Amino acid sequence: MQIEPADPRPPGTQVTVRAVVTDPDGDRLAYRYFITNIASDPWIVEPPRFYPTPIFRIGPGEARIVVPNDPGIYRVYVTVSDGHNNLAVANRSIRVTPPAD
């Protein structure tokens, strides 16, 4: 999984998420994208607090996501499922900082 552009990112800007996934059976894959604040990371210790964000799908495994407006460190998740109860999860941290004056 890759996220571009590199850190830091200004609030409210778009990043491109790319996940390279293959299925040995050639099944159709379904991708989902999520953003959470690392301080409230739902996959670790707390109930989910996901940030609603526009997601613009570009193609299989590729989407543009708008980062939150509040500065902080966030985690971007992509899940991929194949319709046979198989699921893969990848994540990367991103840093959102106020724009320089």
Instruction: Domain of residue 28: give its range.
Output: 2-96
Total residues found in the chain within this entry: 101
Q: What is the pLDDT of residues 16-36, one digit of tens each?
A: 999 989 888 888 999 999 988
**What are the residue ranges of helices labelled H in the chain?**
none
Question: Number of structural domains, the chain?
Answer: 1
Distance in angstroms (rounded) separating the CA atoms of residues 29 and 45: 28
Q: What is the pLDDT of residues 56-74, one digit of tens each?
A: 999 889 999 998 888 888 8
**CATH number of domain containing 70:** 2.60.40.10
Distance in angstroms (rounded) separating the CA atoms of residues 12 and 97: 10
pLDDT at residue 63 in the model = 94
Residue with tokens 């990371």: 41
How many other CB atoms are found less than 10 A from the CB of residue 79?
15
